Structure 1
Amino acid sequence: MLDVKRLQVLLAIVEEGSVTAAATALGYTPSAVSQQLLRLEREAGQPLLDRHARGMTPTDAGLVLARHARKVVRQLAAAESDLADIAGVRRGSVTLGTFPTVGSSFLPLAVRRYRELYPAIQLTIHSGREDHLVRMLEEGAVALSLLWDYDWQRVDNRDLELTELFTDPTVLLVGATHRLARRRTVRMADLADEPWIIRAGGHPVVEVLERSAVAAGFTPGIAFHANDYQEAQAMVSVGLGIALAPRTATVNQHPDVRVISLGDTAPARRVLVAHRPGRVRAAAELALHDVLVETAASYS
C-alpha cells in the first residue's frame, strides 16, 4: 500500500523541480525527502524520478503517480477543511433555552453578536418556564439554557453545570403621576400603605414581594392579579397600584410607568447559563456560551 505522506513528497518534488526545493516547501530536510522518495520507489516497484546533473524529472510511472497524488492531497485538504468548518464554528447548529423576560431583553443582544461572528451556524431558541427548560436540558433537547434563581431557592441540580451571567435587580414600577414617580431610589419601608399589583399563579415575584415586605415590617395589600408583566404595567399606569418586577422585565416599558431602584431592600436574582457536564460539547455550543458570557459582562 502506498504511503500518503510519501505521495506528498513525490508531488512536491515534481512540482518544485528538485529535492531541495521540495524539502523547503514541506519543511523537511533534503535528506529526509530523499529517504521518503526511495521508500516510495520501493513500494511502487520501479523508479519514479530520473536523476541527472540538472535535477530530477519524473518517469512515466512518476507522472502517473504524481497525478493521483495530486488528487489524493486535494481530497485530504478538502476533508481537513470540512473538519475545520465544524471545529472552527463555520458550520453546524446549536439549540438554546430561555425564559421570556431575558428573551426580550438580554438575549437579543447576545443573538445579534453570535450571528455577526458565526453567520453560518443555525441557532434555534426555545422559550419556556424554568422547570420545562431544566427538563429540556436533561433530555438533551437543548444544549444550553438560560435559567434564574434567588438566594432562598438556588438551582440545585447535580446534572447541570452553571455559569452566572449577571445579577438582575428587582425594581419598583409606579405610574407617571404617582407621588414617588420622580424618585430615583425608594426603600421598601416607604411602600407600606401602597396597593400592590402582583403576578397571578404563584409567580416567583410574589415571593419576592412577600419577603421584602416582611423585612420592611408590613403586609402588602393586593389590588390586582396580573397574568403577565405587560398587564401589570398597564394597571400600574392607570394608578390601580404599584408593582415589583425584575429589571429585565421592564425593557418594553409602558410610557406612563416609571421604573425606580429599590437598592438592597428587595432581593435580586441571578441569571445563569446551564449545560449538562460530562459530554462532548460542539464548537458551536462552546462559542455560544462564550458570547453569552461576553455579552453579560457589558450588560447593565
Structure 2
Amino acid sequence: MLDIRRLEVLLNVVEHGSVTAAAEAMTYTPSAVSQQLRRLETEVGMPLLQRHARGMVPTEAGHVLAVHARKVFRQMAAAESDLRDIAGLRRGTLELGTFPTVGSSFLPLAVKRFGQLYPSIQLNIRSAREAELIEMLEEGVVGLSMLWDYEWGRIQADQLSLTTLFTDPTVLVVAADHPLARRRQVAVGDLAGERWIIRSNDHPVVEVLSRSGLAAGFEPRISFRANDYQEAQAMVSVGLGIALAPRTAVVNKHPNVRVVSLGDTAPHRRVLVAHRLDRVRAATEMAFQQVLSEIAASYDPDTGRVAERPAT
C-alpha cells in the first residue's frame, strides 16, 4: 500500500521542480525529502524522478502517480471541507424520534426555531411508542429522541443520557356543558361518581387514573376505551364520560370540551430528551438539544405556547 505522506512529497517535488524547493515548501530538509522519494521508488519498484537541466522532472511512472496523488489530495480537501460544513451546521441531517402528544404540541415550536437558526439542516422525524423510540436510539436509527416517564416507572436505560425538558401535568377533560366545565381546578377525590373514558391497550394514562382513583378511595367506572386522544375528546364532548390526559395531549382540543386543572391530586410526567452515551454526538444533535432546552425554559403546557421574552 502506498504511503500517502510520500505521495505528498512526490507531488511537491513535481510541482516545485526540485527537491530543495519542495523541502522548503513542506518545511522539511532536502535530505529528508530525498529519503522519502527513495522509499517511494522502492515501494513502486521503478524510478519516479529524473534529473534535468532545470531540476527534477517525473518519469512516466512518476507522472502517473502524481496525477493520482492530485486527485487523492483534492478528495481529502473536499472531505475536510464537508466535515467543516457539518461541524459548522451549514449542512447535514438529524434523525429525531418523538411521541404523538409532544409531536403535536411542544416539538413543532422547536422544529420551527431550529429551522430559522439552521436552514440547511434536514430533519427526519419519526413518531412512535416509547419502547420503539428507545430501541431506535439503542440501534442508532435516531440520534436524539423525545421520551417521557412517571415517577413509578422511570426509564431504566444505563446507556442513555436523559435530560428533563419540562413537567407535563395531568388534566381533566370534560364536556363543555358538564357541571365542572366552569371550574378552574378540581381534585380527583371529587370525581368518584363519574364515568370515565380511558385509552385502550394498557396506555400509561390508564395507570395514572387507576393510581389517582386508588389514592382518592374509588375505583373508576369505565364507559369507553379510545384508541387516541382525539377519539377520547370526541366521546367526552358528547357526555359519554370524562377523561384524564397529559396537558400536551389536549393543546389542540376539541371545541366542545373544556380542560380543568387537577393541581397536584394527579401525577405529572416528565418530558425528556435522550441520546446514547456510547457514541460521539453530531453537531446537529447538540444544536437541536440546545434549542429544545431553550424552548422548554419558557414553554407553557397550559397554552401550548412559548412565553414572550421581555424586551431588552
TM range (shorter): 0.7 to 0.9
1:176: how far off? 0.6
Give the Cα separation in 2 of the matches to 1:271 and 1:42: 64
1:281 matched to which residue of 2? 281
Q: Which amino acid aligns with 2:109?
A: L
Q: Secondary structure of the residue that 1:152 maps to in structure 2? A: helix
Q: Please list, as runs of the form range in 1=range in 2, the aligned pairs for 1:48-59 lying within 5 A after superposition.
A: none
Q: Please list, as runs of the form range in 1=range in 2, the aligned pairs for 1:9-20 lying within 5 A after superposition.
A: none
Q: Which amino acid aligns with 1:281?
A: R
Give the Cα separation in 1 of the matches to 2:142 and 2:77: 33
1:180 matched to which residue of 2? 180
2:217 matched to which residue of 1? 217
Q: Please list, as runs of the form range in 1=range in 2, the aligned pairs for 1:1-300 lying within 5 A after superposition.
A: 81-300=81-300
1:281: how far off? 1.1
Number of residues paired by the alignment?
249
Q: 1:223 to 1:40 in 2, by over 3 A?
A: closer
Q: Which amino acid aligns with 1:298?
A: S
**1:78-101 CA-partner distances (Å, limit 9, x unpaired):** 776543211111111110011100
**1:232-264 CA-partner distances (Å, limit 9, x unpaired):** 101111111100000000021111100010000
Q: Which amino acid aligns with 1:87?
A: A
Q: Which amino acid aligns with 1:205?
A: V
RMSD of aligned Cα (Å): 2.9
- TM-score with structure 2 setting the length: 0.72
- Gaps (5+ residues) in structure 1? 4-35, 45-59, 62-70
Q: 1:42 to 1:251 in 2, by over 3 A?
A: same
**1:22-48 CA-partner distances (Å, limit 9, x unpaired):** xxxxxxxxxxxxxx79x789799xxxx
> Percent identity of the aligned residues?
67
- TM-score with structure 1 setting the length: 0.75
Q: Secondary structure of the residue that 2:241 maps to in structure 1? A: coil
Maintained 8 Å contact 2:167/2:270: yes
Give the Cα separation in 2 of the matches to 1:41 and 1:221: 89
Give the Cα separation in 1 of the matches to 2:231 and 2:29: 82
Q: Which amino acid aligns with 1:146?
A: M
* Runs ≥4 residues deviating over 2 A: 39-44, 75-84
